[in-house]
Structure 1
Amino acid sequence: MKKRAMILCALTLLAGTVFAGCSNSKNAGGSPGGSETPASASSSATASGAQQSEGVSNDKKFTIRAGAWFLDDRAYQVAFKKAIEDGYKKLYPNAKIQWDVTLGATYFDKLKAQFASDTAPDVTFYQTLDYAKAGNLLDLSNEPWVSKMSESSKKDPTLNYEGKIYGASGWGYLAGGIWYNQKLFDELGIQPPKTVQEFLDACEKIKAAGKTPIALGFKDLWTADMFLMCWLQSYTFPNDPDFGKKLYDGTIKFDDATIQKVYQNIETMKSKGYFNENALSIDWPQSAQLFASGEAAMIVQGPWMPASNKENIAKGGYDSFQIGFFPFMDDQGHQSLVVNSGSGLGINAKTKLVQESKDLVNLILSPEIMGPWQEGEGSLPTLEGVEVKSTDPVNDTVKQYLDSGLTLPYKLSAFMPASASNAMIDVLTKVVSGVKFNPSDLQAAQNAMEKDKATVVLPQS
C-alpha cells in the first residue's frame, strides 16, 4: 500500500471525530444459544438501533450468550452492559443475556476451545481471522450495518476474509503509544521527545528525580506485544514501506539489524533502571495505578488511557494531572501509528438463535450504545451515525500526530503467524527480566514463521 493511500485510509476513520482495547499475541457447558424455549425470528433490527417491527412482540423465553475479554468494572464498561441489557429487554422482554467474560488474553484460548467443543457464545467479540477461516463465524456481509462501515474498516484484516464480512467493527483504535504525566514533564523541563536519544535522556532525568520513567504491566502479555510492536512500527515502515511483506517473503529475517535495534534499546532501558522492577509480575491495571499515582511518568497503552487515568485518579484520591501523548520513534525521529479495529463482533455459525443474535449485534452497534462506550474506550467510530464526544485536550495532540506522520491500518505482526509474534514477545520478556539480548534468540521467531507461514492472511492494500 502506498503511503498516501494508507494515510487516507486512516483519515477516513477520523473524519468528523473528536478523540475520546487488548491486543492479543498469546491467546461452560451447554449448546450454543442456551435456549430455554426456541425463540422465533419475530423482530427485525434496523442499523440505527435494533428497533422491533411495528406490531411485533416476542415473549419467548431464552438465554443468549455474549462473550468478551474487556468488560471489567470500569464505569463506562458497566454502563455499556446495562444499556445493552435494557435495550435487548425491549426487543425480547423475556430474554436474558448471559455474559461470558474472561478478562485478558486467556479469553482467546478459552474461545478457541469453546468453538472446538460447540460451546462458544452466540455473539462474541474476537480478534484475528482464525475463527472465520475455521468456519466458526457467520457470514454477515448482507447485514444492514455493513453499508455504514467506512471503506477502510471493510478491508480490516480482522473482519474481512476472502471478500466476506465476518464481524462488525463499529470502532477504530489507535493501537498504542506513550502517555505521559504532563505536570511532571513540565516540572522537570522535559519536552515530548522526538528521537530515541531524546527519549532516553527524558528517562534519565525522570529517574534522577526519583520517579519510575515507564510503568510496565507485562503480566498481561498483550501489553508486551503492544510495547514491542509499537516501537517496531516506527523503525520499520517509515524507512521501508514493504518491510512487513519482505519479512513475510523471507527477504528480511527476524534477526535483521532494524529489529535488533529495538531490542537493544529495550536492553539499554532495562540496564539503566527505567522500568519498574516488578514489570513482569503486575498486570496492566496495576501499571496504570503506578502511572495515576504519579510514581511512574509514562505508560504504553491504548486510547482508553485518558478516561481510565481520570477514573484511577478519582478512585485512588491521587493528585490530578493532565495526560499527554507521543508516539514511539526511531533514531532519526521517524514515527508511525496504527489505527484499526483490532477486534470484531461476530456471531457463532452454529447458534440456534440466528435472528436474535443479529438483533443483539445491531443493538450493540446503535449510536446510543456505541457512542458513549467509544468515548470511554477512546476509540474512533467507523460506522456512519456514531459520534464520540470528548473534551480532553490530549485528543487534539493525538490527532496532530496522526495527521503529521505515517498512519497505517496494520502492525508488523499482521505479516507473521501468531507463533512468530509470541516468540518475539518471549525474547522481549527475557530482556526485561535482565537477560542480555542475543540476536540468535530471534531464530525461534524465524522458525515459527517458516513453519506457520500458511496461517498468515496478509493485509489488503
Structure 2
Amino acid sequence: MRRTRLTAACLAAGLALTGCSAASTGSGKGGSTLTYLTFETPSLTAGFWDTSIADAEKKVPDVAVRKIVAPSTDRDAYAKQLQASGQFPDLLQSITPSTFATAGLLRPYDQKWVNANFLLPMGNAYQGKVYIPPTNSQIIPEVFYNKKLFAKAHVDAAPKTWSDFMAVCAKLKAAGITPVELGGGDPFSAAMPLVGILSADVLGKDPNWLKKRYSGKVRFTDANVKAAVAKYRTMVKNGYFEDGALGVKYADSITHFTSGKAAMYMMGSWFLGSVPKDHADDFGAFLTPTEDGSLVVPFSVGGSMAISAKAADPAKATAFAEAWSLDPANYKALIEGDGAFPMLKGRTLDDYGVHVTKVFKDSYSYVTQQNTKVSAVGWATNDDSMPSGLNNAFYAASQALFSSDDVDGQLAKLDAAWDSATK
C-alpha cells in the first residue's frame, strides 16, 4: 500500500536482479510460466511471497510462477516501466486498476466468482468491472494514540469533535509531550493528516466529491477544501507535530510512536501490524474527528492481483489468481503482519487462526458496522481513484503545506495537475 518515488537507477537494478523477460513462455512440459509482480515489506517478506506462490501453484496444474519484486513500493510506476519495455507481467499485486484498465492492459474477473466470495463485491470496481479481487480493506488513516501518554497529560478519553482534538493536542503540548508523530520525510506518510481531514470534512459531507471533480463541478480551490486544509496548517503552526517532522522517514516515525516519543499517530490501519505485542493494550485508535463528532470512516477496499489482458495463458493466470486470493494462509499473514481487514464471505477473524490485539478488533469494528464510509482521498482503487500522477502531486502538496501558508497556491497546483491529467 505504500508509495514512494521510483528512480531510473532503481528500475535498472530491479531489472538486473529479477532477470525480467516477456510476460509468458512455455515451461517445456505442456505448462506455462507466469510472471508475477510483487513487493516486499518488513511484514510481507520474500518468504511470505515464496510460500504463498508455491501454495497457489499446487492448486493449478502445469503452471510455474516467477516472482518479480518491485524495487520501490510504487508498483504502478514500475509496472508502467515494464509495460513500456514490453515486459508487462502476467499478474500484478495491489496496483491501481484505473491506471491500466483504461489502456486495455487488464482482464476483469468473472463477476459471479467475485459475488460469491467477497463481502463488498463492487468495493474496488472500476467502471463497473472488478480488476482486483476485493480481498481486504484498510482505514486510511486512523488516529492511533498512546493511552499512557494521554493519562500523563490528564486526558481522560479519545476526542470526538475537532475542537476536542485541538484541546487534547494543546494539553499534551503543555505537558511536554509531542502531540502528533509525522513521518514527513516520505511523501505518502506526510500526507496522512490531510487525507484524514479531507476525507472527513469534504467527502464526509459529499461522498461523490471526487466523481464531481472529474466532471468539473468542484475544485480543490473551493472554500470547503481550503477550510479543511486550514485545519492542518493550524496543527503545524501550533507546534502539534514534532520538530523537524519533514525530515523523519516513515519507518522512523513508527519507531518514534511505538517507543513513546509522541502521543498520537495518523496512519493507515496497516500500522496495526506494528503495534508492540508486549504492551499492545497501551494503544487505542479513533477516527479523524469532525466538527460535530459524527463518524466518517476513510475507507479503501484493497485486493490481490490484477491479470494482464495480454497474458499468454489467461486461463492459468486466472486460476492462479483466484487460488491465491482465497487462500486463508495469505489472509493470516496480511491480518497479523500488515493490519489488513479481511473481506471474505462467511468467515470471522477466528476462522483465520489469527492472534490480534484489542485495538485491531476495535478498528475492524468500523469496517463491520453500519456507518458513513467514504473513499480515503488518494487511496481509492475504484471510481474515486485520482487520475494517474495525482497521488504524487497530492503528497508533494502535503509536504509543501507543512512549511508554507500558500494554501491557495498549492491547491491551484492540484487543480492544474488534475486538469492536465484528464485532458
Query: Per the shorter chain, which TM-score range?
Result: 0.7 to 0.9
Separation in 1 of the partners of 2:29 and 2:176? 62
CA contact (8 A) 1:32 1:351 kept: no
Return 5+ residue gaps in structure 2 as ranges.
8-14
1:297 to partner: Cα distance: 1.4
Q: Quick check: 296-305 or 29-38, which moved more?
A: 29-38
Aligned residue for 1:375?
335
Q: Sort the Cα spacing of 1:292 and 1:73 in 2 relative to 1 into closer, same or farther, 3 A.
A: same
- 3-state SS in 2 of match to 1:65: strand
Counterparts of 1:234 and 1:196 in 2: how far apart (Å)?
Answer: 11
* Secondary structure, aligned partner of 1:153: coil
The runs of 5 or more residues in structure 1 that have no matched partner are 1-20, 42-61, 455-461
Which residue of the partner structure matches residue 202 of structure 1? Answer: 168
Distance 1:310 1:382, change over 3 A: same
Shift of the 325–195 alpha-carbon distance from structure 1 to 2, 3 Å rule, reads same
Deviations 1:55-90 (A, max 9, x none): xxxxxxx75432133x2132x645632431441463
Task: Tell me the equivalent position of 2:30.
Answer: 40
- For 2:356 and 2:119, locate their aligned partners in 1 and report how far apart those are by CA, in whole Å: 27
2:12 matched residue in structure 1 = none
Residues 177 and 359 of structure 1, relative CA distance in 2, 3 Å threshold = same
Shift of 1:391: 4.2
Segment of structure 1 superposing worse, 240-249 or 205-214: 240-249
Q: 3-state SS of the aligned residue for 2:120?
A: helix
2:300 maps to what in 1?
A: 340
CA distance in 1, matches of 2:316, 2:385: 36
Task: Spell out, residue by residue over 1:359-397, the C-alpha distance to the aligned partner (whole angstroms, 9 max, x if none).
Answer: 431232233323302322332333335543454222343
CA 1:353–1:33 in structure 2 vs 1: closer, same or farther (change >3 Å)? farther
1:447 to 413, 416, 420: 416
Task: Report deviation, 1:239.
Answer: 3.0
Q: CA contact under 8 A between 1:182 and 1:322: conserved in structure 2?
A: yes
How big is the alpha-carbon RMSD for the aligned residues of Structure 1 and Structure 2? 3.2
Q: 1:368 and 1:245, CA in 2 relative to 1: closer, same or farther beyond 3 A?
A: closer
Q: How does 1:153-164 map to 2 (within 5 A)?
A: 153-157=121-125, 160-161=126-127, 163-164=128-129
2:153 aligned with 1:188, yes or no?
yes
Task: State the TM-score, normalized to the length of structure 2.
Answer: 0.82
- Is 1:305–2:274 an aligned residue pair? no
Q: Compared with structure 1, are the counterparts of its residues 242 and 251 closer, same or farther at alpha carbon in structure 2 (3 Å cutoff)?
A: same
Match of 1:140 among 97, 109, 124: 109
Query: What is the TM-score of this pair, normalised by structure 1?
Result: 0.76
Could you tell me whether the CA contact under 8 Å between 1:264 and 1:437 is conserved in 2?
no
Deviation track 1:299-336 (CA, whole Å, cap 9, x = no partner) reads 1222222221226xx6xxxx665221111123332341
The residue matched to 2:69 in structure 1 has which SS?
strand
1: CA distance, partners of 2:4 / 2:287? 20
Q: Which position in structure 1 is the counterpart of 2:398?
A: 428
1:110 maps to which of 68, 73, 78: 78
Q: Percent identity?
A: 22
**In structure 1, how many angstroms separate the alpha carbons of the residues matched to 2:182 and 2:152?**
23
> Is residue 138–residue 349 contact of structure 1 (8 Å, CA) maintained in 2?
yes
Map 1:11-50 → 2, pairs under 5 A: 21-22=1-2, 28=15, 30-33=20-23, 35=25, 37-38=27-28, 40-41=30-31
| 1:408 equivalent among 374, 387, 391 | 374
CA contact (8 A) 1:25 1:418 kept: no
* Residue type at the aligned position of 2:245: A
Alpha carbons 1:80, 1:369 under 8 Å: kept: no
Specify the alignment match of 2:10 in structure 1. Answer: none
Verify: 1:216 aligned to 2:216, yes or no. Answer: no
- Equivalent positions of 1:53-452 (< 5 A) are 64-69=34-39, 71-74=40-43, 77=45, 80-88=48-56, 90-91=58-59, 95=64, 97-105=66-74, 107-125=75-93, 126-141=95-110, 145-150=113-118, 152-157=120-125, 160-161=126-127, 163-190=128-155, 191-310=157-276, 322-376=282-336, 377-385=338-346, 387-389=348-350, 390-399=355-364, 401=366, 403=369, 405-409=371-375, 411=377, 414=384, 416-432=386-402, 434-452=403-421
Name the CA distance, whole Å, in 2 between partners of 1:26 and 1:204. Answer: 38
- Contact 1:216–1:300 (Cα < 8 Å) also in 2: yes
For residues 354 and 241 of structure 1, the distance between their equivalents in structure 2, rounded to whole angstroms, comes to 36
When residues 249 and 266 of structure 1 are mapped into structure 2, their CA distance, relative to the original with a 3 A threshold, is same
Q: Distance in 2 between matches of 1:423 and 1:391?
A: 35
Of 264-273 and 274-283, more deviation after overlay is shown by 274-283
In structure 2, C-alpha distance between the alignment counterparts of 1:441 and 1:328, rounded to whole Å: 23
Output one character per residue of 1:271-300: Cα deviation in whole Å (capped at 9) or x when no partner: 222223343333322111111111121112
Aligned length: 400
8 Å CA contact 1:212–1:297 kept in 2: the answer is yes
1:171/1:222 Cα in 2 relative to 1: closer, same or farther (>3 Å)?
A: same
How many Å separate the matches in 1 of 2:212 and 2:245?
33
Distance 1:305 1:441, change over 3 A: closer
What's the offset of the Cα at 1:346?
Answer: 0.9
SS in 2 for 1:212: coil
Q: 1:356 to 1:100 in 2, by over 3 A?
A: farther
Q: Distance in 2 between matches of 1:399 and 1:89?
A: 31
Indicate if the aligned counterparts of 2:178 and 2:263 stay in contact, CA closer than 8 A: yes
Secondary structure of the residue that 1:341 maps to in structure 2? strand
Amino acid in structure 1 at the alignment position of 2:395: I
Instruction: Name the residue aligned to 1:15.
Output: none
**Whole-Å separation in 2 of the counterparts to 1:72 and 1:426:** 23
In structure 2, distance between residues paired with 1:30 and 1:416: 29
Q: 1:387 to 1:100 in 2, by over 3 A?
A: farther
